[in-house]
Structure 1
Amino acid sequence: MASSHSPRRSHHDRLLSWAGQSPAEFVLGVAEHQRFVDGLAAEIGAEVPDAEALRALEAEARALTEVDLAVELAIKLALSRRLVLDHPGRVHLSVVFAVYNEHHRLGRPEAHPHGEDALARKIEQLDALVAGCPSWSWDLTVVDDGCPNGSGDVARRIVERLGREDQVRVLFLRDAIAEGGPAVQGIASVADSRKGGAIHLGMWEAASTSREGHVVVFTDADLSTHLGQCGRLVAPIVSGDASVCIGSRRESESVVVKGGARDDRGRLFIYLWKRMLGALDGVTDTQCGFKAFAASSVRPWVESAIEKGFAFDIELLLLAERASGAPIPRIPVAWIDSEEASTTVDLQPYLTMLQSVAALARHHRVADTEAEPFVRLVEDLDEAAWQRLQDRIPEAIVAKEPLELESLGVVVSAEALRQVSGLDP
């Protein structure tokens, strides 16, 4: 006789119970909230000690409107941790992030309104991920991207205060440029880098030591993506199924908390880069700061890369897809926007990024007959034309979900977009 208390009903009740325990307004940058979600992840992992059952729980949580962000993140952390525990071999994670005007974010909340104690929190997240798993280890590389406010120096002092010099190092792009080398080729000064140069340097240095099961991960300086999700991110790589895997905010199981801006422009950005490159099948979120690469692949790709700005992600993915000939695996992430001190929001880099993508299409010779008009459109855009275009994005683009833009084809021609932007035909 079937049990009257089915596993699904049990999960439903537990999900509601966990949601009732969550902080009223969950903020990952608040230390107490991080401790809550980490503790809940451990509790969930103990109750549901099976990866497939955790995936089912993840899907069930997504379908329940009463389940909040903290619970959904905790489930993802429990699944990530389970994949770490279940992996039979050795794994070493090298995590990299760049800092530019992050001096406040790196500090404690009591020292500044934008303080997140971000470096200390990242260390805690990595410690928790591999705790009790001697076959897993990690190191962390912070790269100062020429910050005028000494973000690298702030990071170095935090590392010393925490006594973690054995696992965490701070590099300065300016020093690497002065010394020269393949990682910084094409960069004459820190002004030539907009994050990409710093990440290239960090990845290059992280991959310099040969280790069994070595994976290089890059992330953002803020706490938008909990690093406890790394176990899931690197799973396709350490299993030998892929050489790269990316976190995506646009999967059905993704959990995203984001400010109200940038959405329509984001659709326009996806539409244009997809039309120019015609590559990266299935990928619509190129800018999520959570990507993993087999360390053995890092140096050849960094050495081949020309993009040192915010579009560096796209080029690395393009190189990875070309090398493998297969679609790039994606995992759904929990991602909580941290806009208050975001350097990218202040810089509004969409036009710069699109023009970088146009240059990549030329350099890597991916532009075809259909793509060429879009490449020329983007090359011709100036700030005024771009402003006109983003103020009047055609409804055929705005009305589509990001995932639909993948296979949409040309619904608005480059010529029509030239008209909207006020450019000559």
Structure 2
Amino acid sequence: MAFVDFLLSLPLLQTSLVLLVILIVGLYIFLTVTTIRKPNLHRYDSEKYFLTGNGDERRPFPELDDPSSLSLSLIVPSYNEETRLPSMLDEALAYLEQKKKDEGGSFTYEIIIVDDGSKDGTSKVGMEYTKKYGHEKIRVLTFEKNRGKGGAVRMVRIFKKTEIFEAKNFPMQGMLSSRGKHLLFADADGATRFSDLTKVESALNKIAPDENTPAISVGSRSHLQDDAVAERTFLRNFLMYGFHFLVWFLCVRGVKDTQCGFKLFTRSAARLLFPSVHIDRWAFDVELLYIAQCLKISIAEVAVNWQEIEGSKMVPFWSWLQMGRDLLLIRLRYLFGLWRIKEKSN
């Protein structure tokens, strides 16, 4: 009561300032208690190896800090994608094999299928392709537990009584295990036509003449927005516009479509970006691009063909709310210095 009486005795402006300070301090304390400062790079022992397809022979994945040994690494994050994965892989392999033939064998590639703790036969499907094409071209990274983006579940472990551990988003693990000069992650649903890689790669080459120049080329569906608006309900359009505004206002400017699952990186850009990413769910892409803009990494945005595929893991209303919350947390945690950006690769 004494504190309330003290506030009431102050002029309105001073009262407002005191309350604002209390709010900021309270927010900082809350964020400090609920935030893990460093990204988690932990892997279970089984996640450090891939099967060759010849019996049970295991071999260790390489590291992102190693020199590149291939032209392209394609990372395919997959959660319960037993049904949709084959058509996506068939399209990707047809394009990549033709590109290899056209370039006289100088083009080399690998596909890393990251099974994010699926409950179906996603890893089994991936291993069938490994047996068919060989482990030098196709590798399967299977997580012991689901880690996010395939749903709203995150892995939790207690470090201290007040700390909550947020697991790393699964495309990152694929990136850290890749060998390519360029690294692409593409959604397992095959919504983006893989042949558009030609345009995305051309845009990357214009801003990054070699793998040592940090740069990103992102696929974009913004040119399709008018048609999408016409087909969607008022609520979905309201949530979409609200999300786009929050992305622009809080985190990323100059990129019209941050969420398209078709992004290409130079190896040096991947080394800088992925060890700093904290978010493990749908707003992962936004934090990634936010870090890139903070580091002044060049970003090209390229229109790609896209079609909606049945079986999306997003729940329209709740996923949008979750992303909005994560956008606010991204901005606040970096603003208060609770999350820091690694500015140099090893």
Give the TM-score band, short-chain normalised.
0.5 to 0.7
Report sequence identity in percent: 25
> TM-score with structure 1 length normalisation?
0.52
- Note the 1:178-217 alignment, pairs <5 A: 197-206=169-178, 209=179, 214-217=181-184
Aligned equivalent of 1:135: 106
Aligned equivalent of 1:223: 190
Q: Secondary structure at the match of 2:217?
A: strand
Equivalent AA in structure 1 for residue 200 of structure 2: L
Equivalent AA in structure 2 for residue 169 of structure 1: R
Q: Deviations over 1:370-407 (max 9, x none)?
A: xxxxxxxxxxxxxxxxxxxxxxxxxxxxxxxxxxxxxx
Aligned equivalent of 2:334: 364
- Note the 1:44-193 alignment, pairs <5 A: 92-107=71-86, 117-133=87-103, 134-160=105-131, 162-174=132-144
CA distance in 1, matches of 2:70, 2:135: 21
Q: Deviations over 1:143-167 (max 9, x none)?
A: 011112231222212332x334320
CA distance in 2, matches of 1:119, 1:345: 25
* CA positional deviation for 1:291: 0.7
CA distance in 2, matches of 1:174, 1:197: 14
- Note the 1:229-240 alignment, pairs <5 A: 229-239=196-206, 240=208
Backbone CA RMSD of aligned residues:
3.3
Q: Secondary structure at the match of 1:104?
A: coil
In structure 2, the CA distance between the partners of 1:121 and 1:255, relative to structure 1 (3 Å rule), is farther
8 Å Cα contact 2:145-2:155 kept in structure 1: no
Task: Provide structure 1 residue ranges, at least 5 long, that are not aligned to the other structure.
Answer: 1-89, 108-116, 178-185, 368-425
CA distance in 2, matches of 1:307, 1:257: 28
8 Å Cα contact 1:103-1:151 kept in structure 2: yes
8 Å Cα contact 2:117-2:146 kept in structure 1: no
Q: Quick check: which one's helix share is greater?
A: 1
CA distance in 1, matches of 2:317, 2:133: 34
8 Å Cα contact 1:91-1:238 kept in structure 2: no
8 Å Cα contact 1:119-1:155 kept in structure 2: no
- Note the 1:408-423 alignment, pairs <5 A: none
Aligned equivalent of 1:349: 319
In structure 2, the CA distance between the partners of 1:138 and 1:345, relative to structure 1 (3 Å rule), is farther
In structure 2, the CA distance between the partners of 1:266 and 1:253, relative to structure 1 (3 Å rule), is closer
Equivalent AA in structure 2 for residue 359 of structure 1: L
8 Å Cα contact 1:96-1:202 kept in structure 2: yes
Aligned equivalent of 2:248: 274
Instruction: Write out the 4+ residue segments of structure 1 that deviate beyond 4 Å after TM superposition.
Output: 186-189, 252-259, 345-348
Q: Do residues 299 (structure 1) and 310 (structure 2) align? A: no
Q: Name the count of aligned residue pairs.
A: 248
In structure 2, the CA distance between the partners of 1:257 and 1:223, relative to structure 1 (3 Å rule), is farther
